[in-house]
A and B are shown apart, each in its own frame.
Chain A
Amino acid sequence: MTEPWDYAPAPESRDVAGLRDSYRMFVDGEFVEGSGEPLTTLEPATGQPLAEVSTASGADVDRAVRVARRAFDEVWSRMPGAERAKYLFRIARLIQERARELAVLETLDNGKPIKESRDSDVPTAAAHFFHHAGWADKLGYAGFGPDPRPVGVAGQVIPWNFPLLMLAWKIAPALACGNTVVLKPAETTPLTALVFGDLCRQAGLPPGVVNVLPGAGDVGAALVDHPGVDKVAFTGSTEVGKRIQAAVAGTGKRLTLELGGKAANVVFDDAPLDQAVEGIVNGIFFNQGHVCCAGSRLLVQESVAEEVLAKLRDRIRTLRVGDPLDKNTDVGAINSAEQLARITELADSGEAEGAQRWTSPCRLPERGWFFAPTVFSEVQQSMRIAREEIFGPVLSTLTFRTPEEAIGKANNTPYGLSAGIWTEKGSRILWAAQRLRAGVVWANTFNRFDPTAPFGGYQESGFGREGGRAGLEAYLDV
């Protein structure tokens, strides 16, 4: 008897998200109509409209920056750290209380599997606030002098891949250090950031400390360029990051950038292979591969390459691709038609350049934006799929013979965000970790995040760190 066991659909309830027809921007503690052109955010799983969202105009950006400045001058920067801490603890608690609502809303707006928004994004966002809350009254012990001062108004621009989590990475340290914030969520995923505005109200956060301005790149640019902004923090593509760095040049604004990556996941022949396969799968298919630190290049020692690839394909066949709200979905929807087109184009280029393409035989939903997990083998360093960030569920496999060759190939990229090492040999782990030019090195694991562990890139993956003591520097006048 080997009849297939089909798991019945196990959808999480949409109603939990409390989805409304329209959302407004959050300025000075109020939800207000923006005077920009409203945008319609779409549900990636269906391609259908989800809600209408008002956006900010240049005048709205100006007003938000002014209220943030007022809140900074009059309230937030003067408040004792211990008091700021309590607001942040409250926010952490509110995220936990409303976790299910936020998770479902995130999944609807972003397309990521509910099990990820439920078990990863939302709890980690809460943890980020909880961790940074504790810093607010201990900054003098952080190694930046006895009484480090905040920078001022922070303009923060975040991406669509982890909307609430990236908000937490940005807002928690900024507030803990005494800064006020104007945040622009991504155009395609504004909803949880706006619900976060409601959390701020429930927390009783003084008006103007946090402001959320939805909109497209022009709103981000207006925010970055605004002379009232003292500090700019951006997470997103390297291309936009370079534009932002150029835009703030000569202004004296502080800048931190968390940009793209093309991480190598290096598997040596003495690796714990089953766990390595899990790590490879997690590294590239977590969040549909929409992860700046995704392990998008698999470097496998040639003596085990065939075995690893066979196990990998078997494992990928078990990935369940489909309705993001289904609790059993492993790989959800691609966030936008635009991103799907980019992934498709790059994957096609891999084939055209002569790499061997393997696609999971999973059934894709008929509507919405989906891309089947894909593995390329026989990839050469020069191919686009080995060099460009695909930001999708596409893995490029290369082989190596010696440890030196592995490191050489791993470092052969302008990026430098993350890397993985798989080997049971301790000395080799430390040797490789030392040589990999990447801000985060995961050994015998991948894609671990924690508010206590600094995260950020080398080279064109950006500069500055988020998390831990090192992450505070970005928001202190030091």
Chain B
Amino acid sequence: MVTPPSTPAEALPAELADATRDDRSLRRFLHGLPGVDRVGLEQRAAGLATRSIKKDAKRWAIDTAISMVDLTTLEGADTEGKVRSLCAKARRPEPGYPDVPPVAAVCVYPDLAATAVAALRGSGVRVASVATAFPSGRAALPVKLADVEHAVAAGADEVDMVIDRGAFLAGRYGQVFEEIRAVKRACGDAHLKVILETGELASLDAVRRASWLALLAGGDVIKTSTGKISPAATLPVTHLMLQAVRDWRDATGQLRGVKPAGGIRTTKDAIRYLVAVHEVAGPEWLTPELFRFGASSLLGDLLMQRRTQLEGRYSAAHHVAVD
């Protein structure tokens, strides 16, 4: 998002550009990535999760986490009214505490993007729209692209696409790559988040390959999940994706983002993710430009914990507005 790679392949170092030359090169490259040992990764994630974040560091983490939230509503029953209410909360999460930062974005279905755009105008809060036949991704490419174009035309600043897991798992990497490229083009100036749906990718090796595939194809952000299937985001998977953007930075100098989505509900969880961002990718990723939480209920808990920190006593859910 800092340096949007408009023509990714050309901007890449030779060995990465080579990797995307054709289907076989892509396969060779992705399968040549170092393997991932699940036990080791999970152990590292669990180890870092024991960090004890207190006092000032905790307050900073809460505000930072708030500023990274993609406040999300992706229900069939969504209404314009609900989206407007969500946007109001996104702009000013807690009216009683004006120093609470706005969230990063509001994330909706394409048909509600225009509503969100209108409600957020001038706030700095971005509008993200899911697209490409979210959440299944099961549609013909022209339909997916039309979906994206519709969202962009409605004013979405960010597009959250889903990859074709069927093609990916079948080893048709070139097809997935081209699809992401096409979506990226359709996005125009909008930033592209590529949802890997890691809960369907079966192995961590596949998550690493999908991460690199999305980065090679020009995704600005790699995102774990649609939130529609379980497991959604997990700490180990997010660790792995943070390693991918870190390695991408080391290889290209470009900074790309990560967005865990689904299942992150508490401040404690959010802080564990921030610790991972801090220590796995690095401090420069501790910004809404490069890290987001896809979540709906997390914001409420962050606000409640923020009150607890400031007021020195425990707060309660009914003191925080529910969307």
The answer to A–B direct touch (Cβ < 8 A) is yes
Interface of chain A: mostly helix, strand, loop or mixed: loop
Within 8 Å CB of A4, what residues of B?
283
A318 is an interface residue with CB less than 8 A from chain B = yes
User: 21 pairs across A/B with beta carbons < 8 Å?
Assistant: A2-B283, A2-B284, A2-B287, A5-B60, A5-B283, A6-B56, A8-B53, A10-B54, A119-B50, A271-B34, A272-B34, A273-B34, A274-B36, A274-B40, A274-B243, A275-B36, A275-B37, A275-B40, A278-B43, A278-B44, A445-B39
A90 at the interface (CB under 8 A from B): no
Is B53 a contact of A7 with CB atoms below 8 Å? yes
Q: Is the CB of A444 within 8 A of B40?
A: yes
Q: A2-B284, A2-B287, A318-B279 are in contact. Are A8 and B54 (CB under 8 A)?
A: yes
Distance from B39 Cβ to chain A, minimum over Cβ atoms (Å): 7
Q: Apart from A8-B58, A270-B35, what 15 extra A-B contacts exist at CB < 8 Å?
A: A1-B287, A2-B283, A3-B283, A4-B283, A8-B57, A10-B54, A272-B40, A274-B34, A275-B40, A279-B40, A327-B50, A424-B35, A424-B37, A444-B39, A445-B37
Q: Let me know if B51 is at the binding interface, CB within 8 A.
A: yes
Q: Is the CB of A445 within 8 A of B40?
A: yes
Task: Report Cα–Cα, A440/B146, bound state, in Å.
Answer: 59
Residues in B with CB closer than 8 Å to A290 are none
- CA A1 to CA B287, docked complex, whole Å: 6
> Which A residue sits closest to B32, measured CB to CB?
A270
For residue B60, which residues in chain A have a CB less than 8 angstroms away from its CB?
Answer: 5
Closest-CB distance, A411 to chain B (whole angstroms): 25
Cα-based distance from A254 to B305 in the complex (angstroms): 60
A328 within 8 A of B: yes
Is the Cβ of B57 less than 8 Å from the Cβ of A7?
yes
Q: Please determine whether B57 and A6 come into contact, CB atoms closer than 8 angstroms.
A: yes
Contacts of A278 in B (CB 8 A): 40, 43-44
Bound form: Cα–Cα A7–B52 in Å? 8
Nearest CB of A to B226, in Å? 26
Is the CB of B28 closer than 8 A to any CB of chain A? no
Closest-by-CB residue of A relative to B284 is A2
User: Please, what's the 1-or-0 string for A252-294, where 1 marks a CB less than 8 Å from any CB in chain B?
Assistant: 0000000000000000001111110011000000000000000
Taking CB atoms and an 8 Å cut-off, the chain A residues in 35-69 that contact chain B are none
* Contact of B318 with A by CB under 8 A: no
**Quick check: is B61 within 8 A (CB to CB) of the other chain?**
yes
User: Which chain A positions have C-beta within 8 A of B37?
Assistant: 272, 275, 424, 444-445
Tell me the total A-B contact number using a CB cutoff of 8 A. Answer: 74
Among residues of B, the one whose C-beta sits closest to the C-beta of A6 is B57
The contact string, 1 if C-beta is below 8 Å from chain A, for chain B 279-290, is 100011011000
Q: Does A84 contact B (CB under 8 A)?
A: no
Whether the pair B41, A275 counts as a contact (CB closer than 8 A) is yes
Q: Is A24 an interface residue (CB 8 A)?
A: no
B55 neighbours in A (Cβ, 8 Å): 8
For the complex, give the distance between the alpha carbons of A424 and B33 in Å. 12
Q: Given A115-B50, A274-B41, are A5 and B36 also a contact pair (CB < 8 Å)?
A: no
> Which residue of A has the minimal Cβ distance to B44?
A278
In the complex, the answer to whether A328 meets B52 with C-beta atoms within 8 Å is yes
The answer to whether A275 touches B286, judged by C-beta atoms less than 8 angstroms apart, is no
3 closest Cβ pairs, A-B complex: A275-B40, A10-B52, A327-B52
B21 at the interface (CB under 8 A from A): no
A9 to B58, CA, bound (A): 11
Instruction: Find the residue from A1, A271, A278 having the highest chain B CB count within 10 A.
Output: A1
Tell me, yes or no, whether B82 is within 8 Å of chain A by CB. no
Which residues of chain B are within 8 angstroms of A318 by Cβ–Cβ distance?
Answer: 279
Q: Does B121 contact A (CB under 8 A)?
A: no
> In the docked arrangement, what's the CA distance between A61 and B56, Å?
53
Residues on A with beta carbons closer than 8 Å to the beta carbon of B36:
272, 274-275
| Cα(A274)–Cα(B51), bound, Å | 20
List of B residues within 8 angstroms of A1 by Cβ: 286-287
Q: Which residues of B contact A270 (CB under 8 A)?
A: 34-35
Q: Does B279 contact A8, Cβ atoms closer than 8 Å?
A: no
Asked whether A7 lies within 8 Å of B44 as measured between CB atoms, the reply is: no
- Contacting residues, chain A, for B61 (C-beta < 8 A): 5
- Measured CB to CB, the closest approach of chain B to A331, in angstroms, equals 14
The reply to whether B56 and A8 contact each other, CB–CB distance below 8 Å, is yes
Task: With CB as the reference atom, state the residue of chain A lying closest to B239.
Answer: A274
The answer to the question of B278 belonging to the interface, with a C-beta cut-off of 8 Å to chain A, is yes
Provide the residues of chain A in CB contact with B41, threshold 8 Å.
Answer: 274-275
B43 neighbours in A (Cβ, 8 Å): 278
- Within the complex, the shortest CB–CB distance from A330 to chain B, in Å, comes to 9
Closest-CB distance, A104 to chain B (whole angstroms):
14
Decide yes or no: A10 and B286 within 8 Å by CB, A5-B278, A275-B44 being known contacts. Answer: no
